[in-house]
Amino acid sequence: MTLLKTHHCGQLSKSQIGETVTLNGWVQRRRDFGGVLFVDLRDRSGIVQIVFNPDFSQEALEIADRARNEYVLSVTGKVVERSADTINPNLETGEIEVRVTQIEILNAAKTPPFFIEDGIEIDEQLRLKYRYLDLRRPEMQKTLMLRSKAAKIFRDFLDENEFVEVETPILTKSTPEGARDYLVPSRVHPGEFFALPQSPQIFKQLLMVGGMERYYQIARCFRDEDLRADRQPEFTQVDIETSFLSQDQLLDLMEELTVRLFKQTANVDIPRPFQRITYADAMGKYGSDKPDLRFGLELVEITDIVAGSDVKVFANVAAAGGQVKVLNAKGCANWSRKELDDLQPFAARYGGKGLAWVTVKEGEWRGPIVKFFKPEEIAALTERLNVVEGDLLLFSADNKKVVADVLGNLRLKVGRELGLIDESQFKFAWVVDFPMLGWDEEEKRFVAEHHPFTRPKDEDVHYFDTDPGKIRAQAYDLVLNGYEVGGGSMRIYKRDMQEQMFKALGFSKEEANEKFGFLLEAFEYGTPPHGGIAFGFDRLVMLITKRNNLRETIAFPKTASATCLLTDAPGTVDDKQLEQLSIRVALKEPAAK
Amino acid sequence: MTLLKTHHCGQLSKSQIGETVTLNGWVQRRRDFGGVLFVDLRDRSGIVQIVFNPDFSQEALEIADRARNEYVLSVTGKVVERSADTINPNLETGEIEVRVTQIEILNAAKTPPFFIEDGIEIDEQLRLKYRYLDLRRPEMQKTLMLRSKAAKIFRDFLDENEFVEVETPILTKSTPEGARDYLVPSRVHPGEFFALPQSPQIFKQLLMVGGMERYYQIARCFRDEDLRADRQPEFTQVDIETSFLSQDQLLDLMEELTVRLFKQTANVDIPRPFQRITYADAMGKYGSDKPDLRFGLELVEITDIVAGSDVKVFANVAAAGGQVKVLNAKGCANWSRKELDDLQPFAARYGGKGLAWVTVKEGEWRGPIVKFFKPEEIAALTERLNVVEGDLLLFSADNKKVVADVLGNLRLKVGRELGLIDESQFKFAWVVDFPMLGWDEEEKRFVAEHHPFTRPKDEDVHYFDTDPGKIRAQAYDLVLNGYEVGGGSMRIYKRDMQEQMFKALGFSKEEANEKFGFLLEAFEYGTPPHGGIAFGFDRLVMLITKRNNLRETIAFPKTASATCLLTDAPGTVDDKQLEQLSIRVALKEPAAK
């Protein structure tokens, strides 16, 4: 039977010369040169060339000759140095080869639907259907191994810092944000349902009430929502909660963790402390609460300068309490008319009604709106925006949110196009002081920007009674290169404040009790001050490995329409099964599938 | 605001004498002695006595005086040695106390529904409803910390041995054993369902097809079944799969892992190699496939001796191809008539129609059946069973299964009652050579004893065509003190054998393809020989910590009727939510809840 491998293919080198080794692996390719058979044998570690020659073993050669790509082999042979002219500098193991004297074909293989190789164009649907073949590609293997290593780094750090890993339930209760809950019918309790957790939020807080002091879990979370390219119905977060720490103390510890993670995976030294930027500043300067700080190009507000302008749209917006802001695209004055025209639909995509522009060429301001500017406005703008020859000024005038969306996204576009982004950089920042509540126009009520357990800043608590929209939260996001990679908050830990919060959210006392009575009650039995954070593990792995979507970081991901192309899940089930669960399928209209 | 704790309560000792420390914790109890207030302050690590005295700080004393049990405090003070007469030998920190000069009450507490203390009788329902208080008890904290440590030991070992941690999907596809699947309706695909995995079996095999070579995951699994005391609807297993290893190689590695786990958690040295016992022997000698090997009391077959006996039931059973076996309960001849009578319903519980007995007292065999024995039968039995004065012989005659069940359970009962079990021992064994198939009388077909991917023993493969019931599997269970703590198998890795297996199970080709087409196809693309194991993590933690049910090892367990008493899950949900999922509740009869 099979012999245990003595070495990994990819780790053989000149130091094994003369040794007899046993390898197990897959045939990457085979070449026949005048009766000698050269096979690239691949395992998880890499590739090595093995050679079958009648001089080494006629029998081995004959068996090997039956092997095709992706056959599984066990071979034994001697490691020898390659002659100078046959060294392969493109292969880690290219200085040696293995002369095989014994071989067993462990399994045969049909020709796979695509080559098991990096850097080739394969339709993603095909890759996902044959994920087990896709996973053989070195790139996927490396990513999954890095993911495993990253988890270990998190765990080791948290263990060293006295965090206890606790598993929280997957079968739990539907919450008020339940619209995105996956539900699970209960067989034992007909008509009742479990929900899969969108996060272990409640349980980690209860663990703090339970005196666990420091908790972590690499937790699976679930969200049944319309999927975008960078979302998965199930995803993984590194979930952390601590008692007795202040926000600063927690963020310090998390920085230390982050620095270690990136040192040990990407081999980069991230300087500390991370920049801390308020939500207000992030929105103001970058038009985003997850700014990409690898480049400048800050937005500048000019509402005061143009409030009385003859550019009517500016004056009107200013009068209506809106904002006028400018992105000065340095050196872009030579953009073509088409490029400038294309900015209009771009702005529209983010809700903008238009985008005014000015180019500065040959010492002159040009563009449709220039003639409406007064000389003193031009002077003031020149000074505030540091306008020089070659600048392209892009103006957005609207309400705060639209201006931020339009110019924030424009900033990213211009940054990319001007090559201002150093792709090798990892630029972290904490965004802090988030607003606690946002006004929901549709529901005509406040909603929690983070979640309803977030603690307000001490100095803002008094706004509960007067102007809840003004309350800033003790909430923070960890931002990396324009992505949110973590987020959390200090939590409310007193019943009366939690009730105030539910009230601000428009929950009736009954609703609050129905959904969170147990939590409100828990707060009465000696709950410590606590707070925590959750890192988006999939996204961190994606950024470390510089892959371009989350599916590349997950062994068996779902598609954008939440299906598994490999197992063909979800699927229909027997009526008997449904009957036992006391549910019935109720299609809205004849299934159009 | 709160000061970061400088020390843990339970870790203060004489070596901190003279130091000023800051502690955070909960009031365990308070005593007032003539104007001096003594408080036992508790955190995760243990308890320390803190003292408030007007001489240290009048203000601190006044604040502390408001504190009641379970108040949360932050205190700062100096560590001092206790005078000889006030040393508390029952407290780890009993040689010192902390004289408090500064205090902050971080939160108040109502009187909890039970004392936060070990060793007191509390109704489990109440404990589960107030789990966050129950978790504060030292016993629960220690168990959860040990659980966390055990997970780390597993991970570190597996990491050292080149296993890659891979997360497999929780939202997956219903399988043929789907009757116990939890289902999750899909919003995006009306009428279709995901299933929660009963184990990551298929995915770990696909990872081997994918060339991952060594995989592990501490995985949540789900089974919707009638619950017994030692089952949970969601449970955790340490899931492991390897390529290219033989069964012996894998078991060796797993022994090494197990030995380390028990050394580092229970501080015991488990000798290696573990005993290996075939399924046939385990059933024969112990009447169980998970024998408790901490004591002997082996069952002995006597069918041959009594085949022609005048004890008609023995002769009849022997003639019908059944078995007659004896448990010789050494020294139990003095059991009362009532005790012997009580064995009849005990036997009946395990399907036995009765239990004959013989006592050996004053050199004489006594009991209702003795008169039917021929002298040569008595002689043969005396020899085979080593019968001596004081023995109690317990006879079971029936088919193999019933005899095993009755006498196996009787063996445990007698072993316990005779005090034969050394509770400090951890006695491991591998049970091997399980039958691959069992006959399902109801469905009139074979079912997989382990699962349909288990590889037959090479020498038994030929029985597929002639007598599938005879096939022994390359399957193994790890048994500890009468519990199955792990189990696994070498897997089928060739399509034709997997098809043979599905056929033996009575699957039509269509069924097999419908359910496992992707796996059958995967086997055609170069699947390595592979096999694995899964450890029952909850149960291991239970046995290490010597708790008596799984709920004691889980932070937020479900009850035997699969509910969470804390959050009150499962629960009803809005019709709107169900409508979005295209399902409807269909109760069989008016809900009687």
Cα separation of the two ends of chain B: 49
Which residues touch A419 (CB under 8 Å, ≥6 apart)?
none
B471, B460 contact by CB (below 8 A): yes
Nearest CB neighbour to B583, from listed A1, A178, A585: A585
pLDDT of residue B512: 87
Across A219-223, B179-183, B296-300, B405-409, least confident range: B179-183
pLDDT of residue A213: 97
The rounded distance, in Å, linking the Cα atoms of B415 and B482 is 12
Mean pLDDT score across all residues of chain B: 94
Cα nearest neighbour of B236 on chain A = A167
Torsion angles phi and psi, residue B261, rounded to 5: -55, -45
B569 vs A contacts (CB less than 8 Å): 169, 171-173, 194-195
Q: In the structure encoding, which two tokens stand for residue B130, read together?
A: 């107030």
CA of A148, closest CA in chain B: separation in Å?
Answer: 5
Say whether pLDDT at B45 is over 90.
yes
Query: Residue range B443-461: average pLDDT?
Result: 91
B135 vs A contacts (CB less than 8 Å): 206-207, 210-212
The model's pLDDT over B221-231, given as tens digits with 9 standing for 90+, comes to 999 887 666 78
pLDDT of residue B442: 87
B588 vs A contacts (CB less than 8 Å): 190, 579, 582
Which residues touch B313 (CB under 8 Å, ≥6 apart)?
B354, B356, B397
Cis peptide preceding B273, ω within 30 of 0: yes
Q: In the structure encoding, which two tokens stand for residue A457, read together?
A: 């800043």
Chain B interface, best mutation among A156, A171, A220, by max B CB count within 10 A: A171
Chain A interface, best mutation among B194, B209, B214, by max A CB count within 10 A: B194
Helix runs in B267-336, H state only? 279-286, 303-306, 312-319
Which residues touch A373 (CB under 8 Å, ≥6 apart)?
A309, A310, A311, A365, A381
The model's pLDDT over B116-157, given as tens digits with 9 standing for 90+, comes to 999 888 999 999 999 999 999 999 999 999 999 999 999 999
B555 vs A contacts (CB less than 8 Å): 166-168, 203, 207, 210
pLDDT of residue A593: 47
Question: Which has the closest alpha carbon to A339: A399, A259, A430, A418?
Answer: A418
Cβ separation B585–A190 shorter than 8 A: yes
Cβ separation B210–A108 shorter than 8 A: no
The rounded distance, in Å, linking the Cα atoms of B588 and B585 is 10
pLDDT of residue A119: 86
CA of A567, closest CA in chain B: separation in Å?
Answer: 7
The rounded distance, in Å, linking the Cα atoms of A48 and A342 is 52
Say whether pLDDT at B590 is over 80.
no
pLDDT of residue B244: 96
CA atoms within 13 A on the CB side of A341: 3
pLDDT of residue B1: 45
Q: In the structure encoding, which two tokens stand for residue A545, read together?
A: 């490995």
CA of B505, closest CA in chain A: separation in Å?
Answer: 19
Q: In the structure encoding, which two tokens stand for residue B394, read together?
A: 């317990």
CA atoms within 13 A on the CB side of A169: 28
The model's pLDDT over A256-308, given as tens digits with 9 standing for 90+, comes to 999 999 999 999 999 999 999 999 999 999 999 999 999 999 999 999 999 99
pLDDT of residue A450: 84
The rounded distance, in Å, linking the Cα atoms of B549 and A197 is 25
CA of B482, closest CA in chain A: separation in Å?
Answer: 26
As separate numbers, helices (DSSP H) first and strands (DSSP E) second, chain A gives: 17, 23
Containing B348, the helix (H) or strand (E) segment is: helix B337-349
Containing B513, the helix (H) or strand (E) segment is: helix B509-522
Q: At what angle do helices B537-544 and B138-160 cross, to 10 degrees?
A: 120
Residues of chain A with pLDDT under 70: 1-3, 176-178, 227-229, 589-593
Nearest CB neighbour to B525, from listed A2, A110, A179: A110
User: Which residues of A sit in the known binding site?
Assistant: 177, 223-225, 232, 450, 484, 491, 536-539
The rounded distance, in Å, linking the Cα atoms of B27 and B29 is 5
User: Which residues of B sit in the known binding site?
Assistant: 177, 223-225, 232, 450, 484, 491, 536-539
User: Which residues of A sit in the known binding site for ATP?
Assistant: 223-225, 232, 484, 536-539
Cβ separation B148–A164 shorter than 8 A: yes
A143 vs B contacts (CB less than 8 Å): none
Nearest CB neighbour to B135, from listed A74, A211, A588: A211
Q: At what angle do helices A509-522 and A201-209 cross, to 10 degrees?
A: 40
Nearest CB neighbour to A582, from listed B184, B227, B587: B587
Q: What is the reported pTM?
A: 0.95
Question: Which has the closest alpha carbon to A75: A167, A9, A146, A163?
Answer: A9
CATH of B14-107, one of 3.90.105.10, 3.40.800.20, 1.10.10.10, 2.40.50.140: 2.40.50.140
CATH architecture of B118-271+528-585: 2-Layer Sandwich (3.30)
Count of C-beta atoms within a 10 Å radius of residue B269: 10
Chain B interface, best mutation among A3, A115, A135, A148, by max B CB count within 10 A: A148
Query: Residue range B488-493: average pLDDT?
Result: 97
Nearest CB neighbour to B584, from listed A563, A577, A583: A583
Count of C-beta atoms within a 10 Å radius of residue A530: 26
The rounded distance, in Å, linking the Cα atoms of B355 and B346 is 9
Cβ separation A194–B569 shorter than 8 A: yes
Cβ separation A574–B70 shorter than 8 A: no
pLDDT of residue B494: 94
Cα separation of the two ends of chain A: 49
The model's pLDDT over B364-381, given as tens digits with 9 standing for 90+, comes to 999 999 999 999 999 999
CATH class of A295-421: alpha beta
CA of B580, closest CA in chain A: separation in Å?
Answer: 9
Question: Which has the closest alpha carbon to B159: A148, A10, A139?
Answer: A148
pLDDT of residue A589: 65
Cβ separation B518–A74 shorter than 8 A: no
Domain boundaries, chain B: 14-107, 118-271+528-585, 295-421
What SS3 string covers A310-368? CCHHHHHHHHCCCEEEEEEECCCCCCCHHHHHHHHHHHHHCCCCCCEEEEEECCEEECC
Q: Which 8-state DSSP code applies to residue B39?
A: E
Nearest CB neighbour to A112, from listed B147, B525, B527: B525
pLDDT of residue B2: 55
User: Which residues of B sit in the known binding site for ATP?
Assistant: 223-225, 232, 484, 536-539
Cis peptide preceding B375, ω within 30 of 0: no
The rounded distance, in Å, linking the Cα atoms of B574 and B579 is 9
The model's pLDDT over B545-563, given as tens digits with 9 standing for 90+, comes to 999 899 999 999 999 889 9
Containing B577, the helix (H) or strand (E) segment is: helix B575-580
Nearest CB neighbour to A107, from listed B106, B202, B493: B493
Q: Are strands B20-33 and A583-585 parallel, antiparallel or unpaired?
A: unpaired
